[in-house]
Amino acid sequence: MFPEGVFDGDGGVEEALAALERERQKIGKLSEMWREGRTTIRAKDQSLSMTFDGRGELIELVFNESKYRSLAPAQLANVVLETLRRGKAECMAKMSEVMGTGGSGIDYGEVAAGKADPQQVLESLIGPMLGSVGLERRDGGRS
C-alpha cells in the first residue's frame, strides 16, 4: 500500500503529523470561536448597532430610537450596509488572527462564509502529509 522506504525513519511522517496536529488545534480554536464568539459594531453616527456571531453572521440589529428616525431612507440604508461590512470584516479578521497563515493555504474566511470547496480544504490539510510519505494527492499536487 505504501511506497518502499516510506517509514524508514526520515522524519517525514512525524513532521507531517505534527503539522496536521497544529492545524487541528487551530480548527479547534476556530470551532470554539464559531460557537461562542460575538462581535458588536456601532454605526459611526451611533444610529444603530449590530451583533455578529462567531461566523460573522448578523444575529442582532438594534436601532437608536431617536437617531435613525432623522435619517433619510437612502442614508439609513447606507449606514446599515457600511456597518454590516465593517462587522463582517472584523469577524473575518478575528478568524484570520486565530488561524494565522500556517502555510496550509486554507482561506478560513471563505470556510466561514461557506464558499470554500470542502475537497480543497481537505487536500490542503492532508496533501503535505501524503506528499511527505510518497503518496500522490488527488488534486495532482495543487495547493
pLDDT, average across residues 104-128: 72
In this predicted structure, what is the pLDDT of residue 25?
Answer: 86
Helix (H) or strand (E) holding 48: strand 48-53
Average pLDDT, the chain: 79
What tens digit of pLDDT does each residue of 95-115 get? Answer: 878 877 555 667 766 766 677
Residue 1 scores a pLDDT above 50: no
Inter-CA distances, 21 with 26, 76, 89, 110, Å: 9, 47, 28, 22
Give the residues across from 58 on adjacent strands: 52
Residue 3 scores a pLDDT above 60: no
Inter-CA distances, 4 with 1, 15, 133, 140, Å: 9, 19, 10, 21
Show the cell assigned to 128.
503535505
Round to whole Å and give the CA distance between 102 and 23: 8
Residue 12 scores a pLDDT above 80: no
Show the cell assigned to 33.
470561536
Show the cell assigned to 52.
455578529
pTM: 0.63
Round to whole Å and give the CA distance between 41 and 62: 10
Report which DSSP code applies to 142: -
Pair 117, 106: CB distance under 8 Å: no
> Higher confidence at residue 77 or residue 25?
77
Q: Collapsing DSSP states into helix, strand and coil, what is residue 63?
A: strand
Place of cell 436601532: 63
Please give the share of the chain, as a percent, with pLDDT higher than 70: 70
Pair 12, 24: CB distance under 8 Å: no
